[in-house]
Structure 1
Amino acid sequence: MSTASLEKSRPTRTHWLITLYAGGGEFCDGYILSIIGVALPLLTADYHLNSFDAGVVGSASLIGMFAGGLVFGYVTDRVGRQKVYLFDIAAFILLSAAQFFVTDPWQLTVLRFLMGIAIGADFAIAGTIASEFAPRNSRGPLLVIMVTMWSVGAAVAYVVGWAMLSSGHDDWRWMLASSAIPAVLILLLRFGTPESPRWLLSKGRGQEAEAVLKQMLGPEASLDDLEADTASRTRYGDIFRGAYLRRTVFVSVFWACQLLPIYAITTYEPTILASFGLADGNDSYLGSVVVQIFFVLGSLSGILVINKGRRTLLLWSFGLSAVPLLCLAAFAHPSPAVVIVLFAAFGVACFSSQCLQAIYPSELFPTGVRATANGFATGISRVGAAIGTWGAPVVLDHSTRLAMLLGAVICAIGWGTSYILAPETSGLTLADASAADTDHSTRGRPRARRDTSSTTPSPAVKEHS
Structure 2
Amino acid sequence: MTDTAEATVARRLDALPFTRAHLKVLTGSGLGWALDAMDVGLVSFILAALVVEWSLTGEQASWIASAGFVGMAIGASLGGLLADRFGRRSVFAITLLVYGIATGASALAGGIVALLILRVVVGLGLGAELPVASTYVSEFAPARMRGRLIVILEAFWAVGWTAAALIGFFVIPNIDQGWRWAFALGAIPAVYALVVRWGLPESARWLERQGRRAESEAVVTRFEQSAAVGADQRRRTDPPVTPVAAMTGGSRLRVLWSAEFRVRTAALWIVWFCVNFAYYGAFIWIPTILFSQGYDLVKSFGFTLIITLAQLPGYAVAAWLIEVWGRRVTLSVFLAGSAVAAVLFGTASTEGAIIAAGMALSFFNLGAWGALYAVTPEMYPTSLRATGSGWAAGVGRIASIVAPLTVPVLLGMGGAPLLFVVFAAFFVLAAAAAWGLKDVRGEALDDR
TM-score computed with the length of structure 1 as normaliser: 0.86
The one-letter code of the counterpart of 1:256 is F
- Indicate the larger mover: 250-259 or 6-15: 250-259
- Indicate the larger mover: 188-197 or 21-30: 188-197
| Deviations 1:410-460, CA, capped at 9 Å, x for gaps | 1111122123x13211111102xx77xxxxxxxxxxxxxxxxxxxxxxxxx
**In the TM superposition, what is the alpha-carbon distance from 1:182 to its structure 2 partner?**
5.1
Match of residue 240, structure 1, among 249, 253, 257:
257
Partner of 2:163, secondary structure, is helix
Match of residue 438, structure 2, among 413, 423, 426:
423
The one-letter code of the counterpart of 2:105 is A
| Deviations 1:193-216, CA, capped at 9 Å, x for gaps | 111111111111112111111111
Establish whether residue 293 from structure 1 lines up as the match of residue 309 from structure 2: yes
**In the TM superposition, what is the alpha-carbon distance from 1:155 to its structure 2 partner?**
1.4
Distance (Å, rounded) in 1 between the aligned partners of 2:237 and 2:293:
58
Identity of aligned residues (%): 26
Match of residue 134, structure 1, among 114, 136, 141:
141
Tell me if structure 1 keeps the 8 A contact 2:64–2:116: yes
The equivalent of 1:49 in structure 2 is 56
Establish whether residue 86 from structure 1 lines up as the match of residue 93 from structure 2: yes
Distance (Å, rounded) in 2 between the aligned partners of 1:324 and 1:408:
8
Establish whether residue 405 from structure 1 lines up as the match of residue 421 from structure 2: yes
Tell me if structure 1 keeps the 8 A contact 2:158–2:312: yes
Number of residue pairs matched by the alignment: 427
Tell me if structure 1 keeps the 8 A contact 2:49–2:172: no
| Deviations 1:266-291, CA, capped at 9 Å, x for gaps | 211212334566x4331110110000
Q: 1:41 to 1:199 in 2, by over 3 A?
A: same
- Indicate the larger mover: 179-188 or 27-36: 179-188
- Indicate the larger mover: 252-261 or 216-225: 216-225
**In the TM superposition, what is the alpha-carbon distance from 1:167 to its structure 2 partner?**
4.3
Distance (Å, rounded) in 2 between the aligned partners of 1:341 and 1:223:
56
The one-letter code of the counterpart of 1:55 is S
- Indicate the larger mover: 70-79 or 355-364: 355-364
Partner of 1:282, secondary structure, is helix
Partner of 2:60, secondary structure, is helix
Distance (Å, rounded) in 2 between the aligned partners of 1:250 and 1:378:
13
| Deviations 1:12-44, CA, capped at 9 Å, x for gaps | 111111111111221122111110111112222
Q: 1:227 to 1:272 in 2, by over 3 A?
A: farther
The equivalent of 1:208 in structure 2 is 215
Distance (Å, rounded) in 2 between the aligned partners of 1:258 and 1:190:
31
Tell me if structure 1 keeps the 8 A contact 2:107–2:181: yes
The equivalent of 1:438 in structure 2 is none
Tell me if structure 1 keeps the 8 A contact 2:106–2:180: yes
Establish whether residue 124 from structure 1 lines up as the match of residue 139 from structure 2: no
Partner of 1:191, secondary structure, is helix
Tell me if structure 2 keeps the 8 A contact 1:199–1:230: no
Equivalent runs, 1:377-396 vs 2, <5 Å: 377-396=392-411
Structure 2 portions without partners, runs of 5+: 1-8
The equivalent of 1:316 in structure 2 is 333
Equivalent runs, 1:226-265 vs 2, <5 Å: 234=247, 235-236=251-252, 237-265=254-282
Partner of 1:368, secondary structure, is coil
| Deviations 1:325-345, CA, capped at 9 Å, x for gaps | 22344x4x6321122111211
Match of residue 195, structure 2, among 185, 188, 193:
188
Tell me if structure 1 keeps the 8 A contact 2:48–2:297: no
Distance (Å, rounded) in 2 between the aligned partners of 1:430 and 1:227:
17
Structure 1 portions without partners, runs of 5+: 436-465
- Indicate the larger mover: 392-401 or 222-231: 222-231
The one-letter code of the counterpart of 2:386 is A
Q: 1:227 to 1:374 in 2, by over 3 A?
A: farther
The equivalent of 2:178 in structure 1 is 171
Distance (Å, rounded) in 2 between the aligned partners of 1:229 and 1:409:
46
TM-score computed with the length of structure 2 as normaliser: 0.89
Q: 1:397 to 1:184 in 2, by over 3 A?
A: farther
